[in-house]
Amino acid sequence: MTTSDQTTDKRVCFDFEVDFSNGGGIQGQGFRLDIDADDINDQALAEYIIEDLRLLMVGEVRILNKQIINERHKRRASAAVITQGAARSDLIDLSHPVRDGEVVYPGLPAPSITEHMSHEASRGRYAPDVTFQIGRVEMVANTGTAIDAPFHRYPGTMDVAGLPLASIADVEAVVIRLAGMKGRTISREAIAATEVRGRAVLLDTGKAVQWGMPAYTDASPYLSRDGAEYLRDNGAVLVGIDAINIDDTQDAQRPAHSILLEAGIPIVENLARLSSLPSEGLRFSAAPMRIVGIGAFPVRAWARVLP
């Protein structure tokens, strides 16, 4: 075999010992696994062993005699190869970052991000060279990519702590393409061709590309009253938009908020990168902290694209 014919695949060969917290243990010798880099740390291997063998009540895992070898991968190409901090192409981040002093909604205060304790200030409190940073954030609850619960609009109703996970986490989703539409109004006719029942409906208006610019808040697209009624009547479980508000900010009645939140349908505003998603075949998540007594809160929103 010539040098050019030799594989460059990497595998890790190692022994392991696993102790269980309720007594006993298991061992493995000469265990081999595919990896996608030139090395992998012991912690990643330990976590893989626990997950792959479905071990419960693990007390300690010891990785011994680890060697990285050149050997062709043995698992199917479609199977997961061990990665270490690698990005997953099936997960798409749909959140805008929150930055100190950056105004999101005109008239509302910008977030203030400071340090309660810095690494330098913590020096000497712990062991040598052990430091910690504790941040401090002051902001209104509708900062950045944020979710609205019914309590945002209606007193005495469900707050963000009460949002059921079934309506905000790993929900089947559909993206409705609206970028380049004439006018600002997302009417019933614009969305009526889409099956929305049991789905998170994500309105891709193209406005997110102006995030951080003054134009982001100008002439923003919005969901009409009859559009909101269509989504409510046809069983949407969540509605998101890549714009500053799901309503026309000049309309004091806020019909989209009123209709959707009265029906218990959460709203996510200021989404990002909806244009990078397929129209269907994805799951959507937008989970806030479980804070009691508040009607809206920032989220880390993402989509999981199905194979």
Indicate which CATH number applies to the domain containing 163: 3.50.30.50
Domain range enclosing 76: 8-86
Is residue 50 located within the same domain as residue 167?
no
Can you tell me the mean pLDDT for 107-131?
A: 95
Q: How far is CA 235 from CA 15, 99, 101, 255, in A?
A: 53, 36, 39, 18
Tokens 């808040």, residue? Answer: 217
Same domain, 50 and 165: no
Higher pLDDT residue, 122 or 22?
A: 122
281 and 194 within one domain: yes
The torsion angles phi and psi of 4, rounded to 5 degrees, stand at -70, -20
Q: What is the pLDDT of residue 110?
A: 95
Q: Tell me: the pLDDT tens digits for 142-185?
A: 999 999 999 999 999 999 999 999 999 999 999 999 998 889 99
User: What integer pLDDT is reported at residue 178 of this predicted model?
Assistant: 95
Q: Is the pLDDT of residue 229 over 70?
A: yes
| Pair 175, 26 in one domain | no
256 and 152 within one domain: yes
Q: Quick check: 271 and 240 in contact, CB under 8 A?
A: yes
pTM of this structure: 0.77
Domain count, the chain: 2
Domain match, 160 and 258 both: yes
**Least confident span in 41-50, 95-104, 138-147, 227-236:** 41-50
Closest Cα to residue 100, out of 135, 148, 132, 133? 135
Is-contact 172 178, C-beta < 8 A? Answer: no
